[in-house]
A and B are shown apart, each in its own frame.
Chain A
Amino acid sequence: MDFFLEVLTGGLLAGVMYSLVAIGFVLIYKASGVFNFAQGAMVLFAALTFVSLWEHGIPFWGAFVMTLLSMLALAWGVERVVLRPLVNRPPITLFMATLGLSYVIEGLAQLLWGSQVHGLELGISDEPLEVGGMLVSQFDLFAAGVAGVLVLILSLLFNKTRIGITLRAVADDQLAALAVGIRLERIWMIVWAVAGFVGLVAGLLWGARLGVQFSLSLVVLKALPVLIIGGFTSVGGAIVGGLIIGASEKLAEIYLGPLIGGGIENWFPYVLALLFLLVRPSGIFGERAIERV
């Protein structure tokens, strides 16, 4: 039983890492209806930029700010070159454009900073910590804390600031927002920049865990089932979805793995998400739309 709890806790904490990627996704989907497959590429780009700057002797916060600026520039570019010309196109077209975008960003990141693996040491030990008789990774606790702070910042941004209100207006009804004089282009840019910031935070944590390398951009594939379970439009859902995926994936690996063979974490979240979908076709927290004809 203790072992079960330990696995569960480990899984839940790992799930927080998935949530981090999923949150960036949700932000963009809410504000622009774009299913942004390039979120993973953005995580890679941010982490690679940060670590390369840091390795060139720029202090931590300096590198952090410079990376943030580069994410802002990326957001500006994406809005200009991809989103603006594709306005009013079917969502599926925008999705495919972000597939193309992920290729561009990945290629660009590696063209600029090379494709070798970088270690990233954030100074948090990965030693297990004993909490109430269970062994819990310190690093995972730290990551969970960071995610908590991030969600707090985002909810303040969404609920207390003027930008937040505009964002929610756009998320609710683009056309109405346009009609009251909200500049969609600016909102999109802000949202992509914020998603870039979330991507940077996710990139640092994931990078510290796995090393900064190309496979970081594949975390998007982990985030997808998280979104399905949590719903595309809810930050809270992204957290809960992440926890569910993280926990069940670890439990399945431990208890199911020996029966049917290892390495099931690649597809297990998808099958889980599929089962969820068959019961609730729009996720736990997603709005169920009534079809009007």
Chain B
Amino acid sequence: MTEPLLRIENLHKTFGKLEVLKGIDMTMERGDVTSIIGSSGSGKTTLLRCINLLEDYQDGVVAIDGDQIGYRTQNGRRVRRPERQIAAQRAMTGMAFQHFNLFPHLTASRNIMLGLVKVRKMPAAEAKEIAAHWLTRVGLGDRGDAYPGQLSGGQQQRVAIARAVAMAPKLMLFDEVTSALDPELVNEVLNVITDLARDGMTMLLVTHEMKFAHDVSSKVVFMHQGRIAEAGPPAEVLRNPKSARLAEFLKGAKF
């Protein structure tokens, strides 16, 4: 049996006494587009942040391409990997954030170049070309010299996505990337993601855009109170919810 791209087993995460992830199991194959839906506090974002170790997890396994993220097992004990290894593992995934989190002191182009030069050790000229390529890809080929503060929210989010995908990650994580945007700017960002999905990029998205989840995903996961309550193909999960909770959650959603 070949190892899936992403394998999560029995993942537990607590904040102090509060258990936010209560045993998550899921896998993703290469090219999968999985959307996580659920009400706030259900653990969606935390799950995403455990995958690139922006949050520690207390128990279970997160593995990308067979590599356990953040920890290894030594004499039956869980040991946190050294900082350098963790940084290298983080570079296997790319993340786009709700609030973009662009580096405000760098131009759009330099935002993309930073990781290429410092992490991938690429010469600046090559990194610049890649930055230009991805900026064009997200429709901002002419804004490479603009600073984040000079761009609209939608443009900033597109640069942030370009910054993440330019690193050629194995898996892209999208954390409610349209939630902080004005309604008229949402589509430009969703179009970029749809375009990447068509390209075969493996993506895990936390989203409140039900129509988008329905149209783009190969799988939809519904989380409730720190557990996966339902999962399956979008048509099945979104159109024929099995549980009353999901039906309630989907009430009024259009797709």
A binds B: no
Binding site for B on A (CB under 8 A): none
Binding site for A on B (CB under 8 A): none
